[in-house]
Amino acid sequence: MSNAQAFTTAAMPLDQQIVLVTGAGRGVGSSIAKAFAYEESALVINYRYSAEAAEELAEAVRARGGRAVAIEADVTDSRAVDAMFAAAHAEFGAPVTTVVNNALVDFSFNGEERQPADEIDFSDFTDQFRGAVGAALNTVQAAMSGFREIGSGRVINIGSNLVQNPVVPYHDYTAAKAALLSLTRTFAKDLGPSGVRVNMVSGGLLRTTDASSATPEEVFDQIAAQTPLGHVTTPEEFASAVVFFASPASRAVTGQNLVVDNGLVMG
């Protein structure tokens, strides 16, 4: 591949991309999918249980002239993930160009109900590791044949600022996200020669998603008061940062973790 060709694939415009967002039927995943739809990317809206919401989102995108398909798959199941990528290729006639690993194993951000250190069971950790690291491993491996075909690829993993500042010690969730950050950097190193860029976008508590719906309003207000910008990050603000890592503007960036929390955690 010539330098000019390499630059072209690395800087693929968003409106020429096919973007797979896992767990996109609801919550922040839905906001991420909508942000890519705004940029006219073709969308693969993955879901596991939220069939109605995922289909409604896909239909809304198509009604505005966009391209979208909703596909059910348990992303912790490698065979289901392979089938999802095959279905996406059949739908759009081309490989997926960007994978956003957003799907979250069932979890509620309610500090009063979390498992404390002297009671939590290792099975809680394995559930979260399977949902974070295992799912990301499945999607990246399934995407690689397509990435090699086009000479580039983008992987964007969704992390958490709790890794940097565990203000609420959700032990299992935070450990899994820390492992996903490690995977982000080791995969960036290993897959870079294939033109694949792997990055992470880490949010704080978002106002409001399904996962944060149990969070009391006073907690949101306390967090807002601690941020330099004076408010809690919205799903839409977070989604904009995710889109950046798929865009040509980030073509020289890989192995990075961008914390998007209105400055609550710096560094």
Residue 8 is predicted with a pLDDT of 62
CA angle 11, 13, 145 (to 5 degrees): 70
DSSP string covering 145-182: HHHHHHT-EEEEEEEETTTT--SS--HHHHHHHHHHHH
Backbone angles phi, psi at 155, to 5 degrees: -125, 125
pLDDT digits (tens, 9 = 90+) for 35-62: 999 999 999 999 999 999 999 999 999 9
Residue 215 is predicted with a pLDDT of 77
Dist. CA 200–CA 192, nearest whole Å: 15
pTM equals 0.94
Q: Is the pLDDT of residue 6 over 70?
A: no
pLDDT digits (tens, 9 = 90+) for 120-179: 999 999 999 999 999 999 999 999 999 999 999 999 999 999 999 998 899 999 999 999
Chain centre to alpha carbon of residue 85: 16
Q: Per the residue annotation, which of 47, 49, 170, 173 is the catalytic one?
A: 173
77: which residues sit within 8 A by CB, 6+ positions away? 138
Active site residue 47: no
Q: Is the pLDDT of residue 225 over 70?
A: yes
Q: Is the pLDDT of residue 2 over 80?
A: no
The domains located in the chain, with CATH, are 18-260 (3.40.50.720)
